[in-house]
């Protein structure tokens, strides 16, 4: 009975040239076959493609593939491309309309190129928000960040890096933002941005800027000295793996002392002084490795400890370290495997 009323109303609308109202009757009722029939008969190609698209959308990709014919699916794909719904278009192609995949790929590339062109056009006109929207439509937040950097709109660059980037991207923006400002302007930044800029400046070896930021943000001198001391020590130790890699350790008398002396000379502190920050760094590195993610300034810089670590097997209160020494007996060279137990 209800369908008879819909048919009568639909017929009246069509007789009066109001086919869109007739179409809406069937669409609202979810009777897509009737809606498609009306659109096909009266609405023109774009409208029946739109109806095919809405029909397929209402079903979902899997159900559409199994219940709609190829003609309807092709029309649904065509309209998906028209309205830039490429995810749905690719889904239909991959599930059952493979012969339209190249068409969708071409249109997708054209769509990306057009959005990038529009973004550049908006950028040149100074319409940065509109440019950002176009960049985001092609999932290129880094291009939007670069645009804001070039324009000196650092708060916008930071906003995007914080929203879409990882921690390192956000910190890098903080550092570049602070570098672009004079002393008084830096003081107006949030403490988080300043702290991140301090972290990156230390990691980058930008020690003069690191010191300036520390003094501006109220970091006391002993904390600054502490950080710089650790930086100098880890740099010196990285170049001397014989001091922390048991596979490379030399057992010649005085060899280890000589290496520590060279570290002390490079750092400019006595051996007994530089050993303290080295122990502190190694302990902190082990603790940070246990975390899902570390924001410690030295974490990435100390990964050489893992890369160059010797093979170790833990036993009850002992480590079995395996070394291969080459020993010369009467001109004949033989390789002996020596196992040495060293208490922790």
CA angle 125, 130, 134 (to 5 degrees): 115
Same domain? 188 vs 290: no
Same domain? 154 vs 82: no
pLDDT of residue 332 exceeding 60, the answer is: no
- Measure the CA–CA gap between 310 and 207, rounded to whole angstroms: 32
Domain count of the fold of the chain? 3
- Measure the CA–CA gap between 70 and 93, rounded to whole angstroms: 11
Same domain? 82 vs 20: yes
pLDDT of residue 61 exceeding 60, the answer is: yes
Query: What local confidence, expressed as pLDDT, does residue 149 receive?
Result: 94
- Measure the CA–CA gap between 212 and 204, rounded to whole angstroms: 15
pLDDT in tens, 293-322: 876 666 777 777 776 554 343 333 333 333
In a domain, 129, yes or no: no
In a domain, 132, yes or no: no
With CA atoms as reference, report the closest residue to 27 among 46, 1, 47: 47
pLDDT of residue 202 exceeding 70, the answer is: yes
- Measure the CA–CA gap between 92 and 110, rounded to whole angstroms: 19
Query: What local confidence, expressed as pLDDT, does residue 23 receive?
Result: 65
Which tops the pLDDT comparison, 162 or 258? 162
Same domain? 69 vs 168: no
Least confidently predicted of 9-13, 25-29, 173-177, 258-262: 9-13
In a domain, 270, yes or no: yes
Same domain? 247 vs 213: no
Q: Which residues partner with 325 through β-bridges?
A: 336
Q: Which residues partner with 339 through β-bridges?
A: 322
Same domain? 180 vs 226: no
Which pair of structure tokens corresponds to residue 149? 């950097």
Which tops the pLDDT comparison, 39 or 137? 137
Which tops the pLDDT comparison, 124 or 204? 124
DSSP letters, 63-102, are HHHHHS-HHHHHHHHHHHHHTT-HHHHHHHHHHT-GGGHH
Same domain? 197 vs 263: no
Percent of the chain with pLDDT over 70: 70
Same domain? 25 vs 80: yes
Which pair of structure tokens corresponds to residue 314? 């833990």
In a domain, 344, yes or no: no
Query: What local confidence, expressed as pLDDT, does residue 260 receive?
Result: 78
Domain, as residue range, for 102: 1-109
pLDDT of residue 96 exceeding 60, the answer is: yes
Per-chain mean pLDDT for the chain? 76
Checking DSSP bridges between strand 312-315 and strand 332-343, what pairing results, if any? unpaired
In a domain, 135, yes or no: no
In a domain, 161, yes or no: yes
Which tops the pLDDT comparison, 255 or 169? 169
Spacing of C-alpha 38 from chain mean position:
48
- Residue 42 has φ and ψ, to the nearest 5°, of -125, -20
Same domain? 213 vs 244: no
| Predicted structure pTM score | 0.53
Q: Which residue has the tokens 């550092």?
A: 175
Q: How confident is the model at residue 218 (pLDDT cuts 50, 70, 90)?
A: low
pLDDT of residue 95 exceeding 60, the answer is: yes
First to last CA, the chain: 89
DSSP 8-state secondary structure symbol assigned to residue 310:
P
Same domain? 262 vs 204: no
In a domain, 10, yes or no: yes
In a domain, 329, yes or no: no
């Amino acid at each position: 009975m209800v369908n008879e009323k819909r048919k009568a109303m639909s017929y009246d609308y069509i007789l009066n040239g109001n086919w869109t109202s007739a179409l809406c009757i069937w669409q609202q009722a979810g009777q897509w076959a009737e809606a498609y029939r009306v659109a096909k008969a009266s609405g023109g190609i774009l409208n029946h493609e739109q109806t095919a698209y809405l029909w397929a959308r209402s079903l979902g990709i899997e159900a559409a593939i199994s219940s709609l014919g190829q003609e309807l699916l092709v029309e649904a794909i065509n309209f998906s491309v028209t309205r830039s719904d490429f995810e749905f278009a690719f889904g239909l192609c991959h599930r059952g309309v493979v012969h339209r995949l190249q068409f969708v790929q071409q249109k997708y590339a054209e769509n990306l190129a057009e959005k990038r062109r529009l973004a550049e056009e908006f950028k040149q006109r100074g319409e940065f928000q509109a440019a950002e929207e176009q960049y985001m439509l092609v999932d290129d937040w880094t291009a939007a960040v670069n645009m804001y950097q070039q324009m000196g709109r650092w708060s916008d660059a930071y906003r995007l890096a914080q929203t879409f980037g990882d921690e390192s991207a956000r910190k890098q923006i903080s550092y570049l933002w602070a570098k672009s400002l004079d002393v008084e302007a830096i003081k107006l930044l949030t403490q988080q941005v300043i702290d991140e800029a301090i972290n990156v400046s230390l990691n980058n070896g930008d020690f003069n800027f690191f010191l300036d930021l520390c003094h501006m943000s109220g970091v006391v001198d002993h904390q600054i000295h502490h950080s710089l001391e650790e930086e100098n020590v880890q740099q010196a130790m990285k170049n001397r793996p014989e001091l922390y890699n048991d596979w490379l350790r030399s057992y010649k008398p005085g060899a280890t002392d000589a290496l520590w002396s060279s570290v002390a000379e490079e750092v400019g502190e006595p051996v007994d002084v530089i050993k303290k920050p080295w122990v502190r760094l190694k302990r902190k590195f082990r603790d940070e490795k246990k975390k899902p993610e570390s924001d410690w300034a030295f974490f990435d810089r100390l990964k050489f400890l893992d890369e160059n670590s010797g093979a170790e097997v833990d036993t009850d209160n002992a480590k079995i370290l395996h070394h291969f020494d080459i020993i010369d007996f009467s001109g004949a060279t033989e390789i002996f495997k020596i196992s040495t137990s060293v208490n922790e």
